[in-house]
Chain A
Amino acid sequence: MLHFQKWKVILVGAIVLAGFIFAAPNLFPSSALQGLPSWVPQKQVNLGLDLQGGAHLLYRIDETELVDDWLDTIRGDVRETLRSNRIGYIDLDMNSADRSVSVRIRKPEDVDKAYTELRKLVAPVGNDVFGGFSGNDMDIAKSGDQITLTATEVGLNERISSAIQASIETIRRRVDAFGTTEPSIQREGRDRILVQVPGVSDVQRLKGLIGETGKLEFKLVDPSVNAAEIAMTKKVPPGDELLYSEDEPPIPYVLKDRVLVSGESLVDSQPGFDARNGEPVVNFRFDAAGAKRFGRATQDNVGLPFAIVLDNKVISAPVIREPILGGSGQISGNFTVQEANDLSVLLRSGALPAKLSVIEERTVGASLGADSINSGQKAAIAGMLLVVLFMFAAYGLFGAFANIALLVNVALIFAVLSLMGATLTLPGIAGIVLVIGIAVDANVLINERIREEIRAGKSPIAAVDSGYSRALIAIIDSNVTTLIAVLVLFWLGSGPVRGFAVTLTIGILASMFTAVTVTRMLVAAWLRWKRPKELPL
């Protein structure tokens, strides 16, 4: 087994070379790589948030709110359907607990017709893996004069899925405004979104921006009542609502319930400055329909104040001086430049379909990240040096072969991590160190085996040959069992644990290659060159 076919030698050489080439960019600061031509590999290992600082935020979508919104829509649809078919009804109710909307039909002879018409509201949901039909979004049932529409589990999942998709888009637009490099926003499990933003320093602001629902409404202020009085007595006139501003202390406003124009009609918003006093403001523009409605409303209410409401908080309540017909306007409200900027981002990105709450938050400051990577690097290099010295002390020349293989192994790990775009975390660095231990073990097994074969009186070539082939079984068995544990880590773990599992998996696979193939070729080449009478082992 000491003669290798030429193509095998070339292949192994090519892999080793590729390993070094693709690992090399990690030796340089990223600024040094920018000027290089594009054919030079430039991909570096992604550093995890624990190593470069940043924020990790896990959000969960508010399912109750989502269900209530949906039931509300169903109730509206039922009302609309029955009205347009001139069917009399009473007791149109929604019940959040069992996710249903029920209605009673006045005349018994209308029940069948109502059922047939309402049946049309039920839509199939076909969004499973195979794109097939997986059920209806609602169940419809009739008992006596009562018809009940119940939201199904598949329907709910479909709703959650699309709400998550929409939220991810919205969050992406908001996070992009932060201007950080490579934020990662992805779905996790059924109802969660994981947002990872490297290098962010102001987490509070980031959370504020992501977490706002961003529901914008323009409403008229009810001029006939005294807001302060109503805030005291809490007796809100019918058709009105009591909202507060974000000031400290909050200022109460009594607004007309009806929404003049909502955020959906908004096509653009940009931060700017007021031409008269130079204060930061937000400029916005409506679509055609929104502009028409807004124009009419302002025309009818010149001289009266209207309120700009964001997530049920009044951000400003200017008096309408003249009708706003062009469809564009300005929100002012004692903003700082940053606030104006954030607000325009919020409006531009649209509203979240439901409330998101943070269920897990981990932030690492940039200075701690830098400390961690420094100490991790120092420890890893020290560990590596100790291993190299020890291996040479224990096995001499054969130890040197093993050390070369080890170097190739580490290069391959970095090359694969860089190419995969995988993330290196602090536990990942520890994983590399463990791989060093495991890779060395393979060579220890081989070398010990060769020693045994020498003691059994075999010639150098025969000893090396059977040493390699007999140690191979133990190496494969022991590495596969480790691999099982590591794959479980990858499968069930999350975050840094996963990063650890990735480096370990790559490392174990690489060590099977380097410890066995690379060292064997080195030893074979040496044997052919020196033709030793005895092995230095």
Chain B
Amino acid sequence: MFRGITLVPPDTKIDFVSQRAITWFVSAFLTVVPLVLVATVGLNMGIDFQGGTLIEVKTKENPAQLADIRGKISDLGLGEVQIQEFGAPDEVLIRIASQPTEEEQQASIAKVKEALGDSVTYRRTEIVGPTISSELIAGGTLAVVVAMIGILIYVWFRFEWQFAVAAIASLVHDVTATIGLYALLQLEFNVSSIAAILTIIGYSLNDKVVIFDRIRENLRKYKRMPLVELLDRSINEMLSRAILTHVTTLLAMLPFLFFGGEAIYGFAVAMCFGIVVGAYSSIFVASPMQLILGVQREAFSGSPSSAKGKAEKGDAEATARA
């Protein structure tokens, strides 16, 4: 009977948490650099968040004459215009800056259609007015914040506050790293980017909770084991599962990167990156955070009388700092 190939030996003893001097540095890098990138290079804000007009056309000539199209459209006096190839060489994306009023916005598309005539076919047009774009920014930010709070409460309720804080800290790490990727690759940041970020939060958290679950179990099992050793042990025990799951999820997502089409490319890039970053932060951010925050062992000791009891507190803290 075929048993399957063992990818990860069951008895790994890798010092994950012990290497925290190096990984803290990496994590800090992954958190700070994106912020610098966003501040300097900036995000490539799509029309969802900026307002404006987007027109995707397919030209009759192949490849498209970008200079010619650019000339025709910049003559219309519509302000900032971006023209770029999108997917195939005969597919062109035209982006026009937000117009002062909603009526002018509507008129912009008619002007473009007049200027281009029937040298192209229209595949997609989008007009987002200034009211909507500011609402979408507010809604997107709110969504991320509310999701974080909901998660904080749930993890707090199911585990302990230290786990909740560690989870949120590592999620913030994942989110900034992902936003940094958008800035670095200049991927368009739009509503589906918010969806990608929320999904990454969900997936990454899923992963952290699984490891937390094992840490909790081991805290009950090995009452005297130093915390560093216990964390390393928990991560090693879950390593096989972690790698299998991340590889399968990546395998499911990767085809979207290669033949999912232009419409979902940015989303797929973010998701693949998020899976990797989430896997990293579960091991190197969320777990070592327990050391800093000091996990209260007696909360997991199982007997109600000693749960959160004062008597064992000193001992637990001493172990936590070991």
Contacts and interface: CB of A to CB of B under 8 A. Distances in A.
Contacts of B131: 60, 359
Nearest to B144: A488
A364 B260 contact: no
Interface in A319-370: 357-365, 367-368
B66 to A, nearest CB: 20
B318 interface: no
B210 A360 contact: no
Interface string A404-427: 000000000000000000000011
Interface residues of B, number: 77
B102 to A, nearest CB: 5
Contacts of A495: 191
Contacts of B206: 438, 441, 478-479, 481-482
Contacts of B150: 484-485, 487-488
Given A433-B253, A437-B253, A441-B206, A492 B123 contact: no
Given A50-B263, A434-B199, A451 B10 contact: yes
Contacts of A378: 255, 259
Interface string A460-494: 00000000000001100111111111111101111
Interface in A26-69: 50, 58, 60
A368 B194 contact: no
Contact of A497 (B195, B214, B247): B195
Contact of A426 (B102, B245, B263): B263
Given A437-B275, A491-B146, 5 more contacts: A361-B125, A372-B264, A383-B253, A484-B154, A493-B139
A445 interface: yes
A492 B148 CA distance: 14
Q: By DSSP majority rule, is chain B's interface helix, strand, loop, or mixed? A: helix
A459 B252 CA distance: 34
8 nearest interchain CB pairs?
A: A437-B249, A485-B202, A375-B261, A382-B255, A383-B252, A396-B2, A482-B202, A396-B4
Interface string A483-516: 1111111011111110011001000000000000
Contacts of B252: 383-384, 386-387, 433-434, 436-437
A451 B244 CA distance: 14
18 contacts: A204-B110, A359-B129, A383-B255, A383-B256, A384-B252, A396-B2, A399-B4, A430-B268, A430-B271, A434-B253, A436-B248, A438-B249, A478-B207, A484-B150, A485-B205, A491-B143, A493-B191, A495-B191
Q: By DSSP majority rule, is chain A's interface helix, strand, loop, or mixed? A: helix
Contact of B245 (A437, A473, A486, A537): A437
Contacts of B126: 361-363
B144 to A, nearest CB: 8
Contact of B192 (A361, A396, A427, A504): A427
Contacts of B123: 364-365, 367-368
B259 A375 contact: yes
B122 A365 contact: yes
A138 interface: no
Contact of B195 (A368, A393, A433, A500): A500
Interface in B251-278: 251-256, 258-261, 263-264, 267-268, 271, 275
Contacts of A489: 143, 147, 195, 198-199
A390 B248 contact: yes
A399 B5 CA distance: 11
Interface in B81-99: none
B191 A482 contact: no
Contacts of A395: 3-4
